[in-house]
């Protein structure tokens, strides 16, 4: 499984990447939404099984990046996009 992990906080990135890699997942890190959009656009179709996206980041936030990825090529990712807020009531 390949995941594009988008997180601007270095400690959060390190922790998330550690646990994902321990589970056998390949992680491609991006430090803001703009970098995530660029990596997604440059990737082969279906290169990522999932994108884990922070919401509040510098340069481009997660919501704006997700909208751009959906608009520009949502068919290049196997899974639907969910924000962390999807699980809150």
In a structure prediction context, what are the per-residue pLDDT tens digits for the chain, which is 89 residues long?
999 999 999 999 999 999 999 999 999 999 999 999 999 999 988 899 999 999 999 999 999 999 998 887 654 455 444 444 443 33
Distance CA 6, CA 27 (A): 10
CA distance 30 to 58: 12
What pTM does this model have? 0.80
Q: What is the DSSP letter of 30?
A: E
Q: How far are the Cα atoms of 5, 12, 39, 76, 81 from residue 59, in angstroms, in the given order?
A: 16, 18, 15, 23, 20
């Amino acid at each position: 499984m390949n995941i594009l992990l988008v997180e601007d906080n270095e400690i959060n990135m390190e922790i998330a990447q550690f646990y994902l890699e321990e589970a056998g997942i390949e992680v491609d890190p991006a430090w803001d939404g703009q970098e995530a959009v660029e990596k997604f656009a440059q990737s082969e179709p279906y290169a990522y099984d999932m994108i884990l996206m922070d919401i509040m980041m510098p340069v481009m936030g997660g919501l704006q990046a997700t909208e751009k990825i959906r608009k520009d090529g949502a068919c290049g990712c196997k899974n639907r996009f969910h924000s962390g807020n999807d699980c809150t009531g």
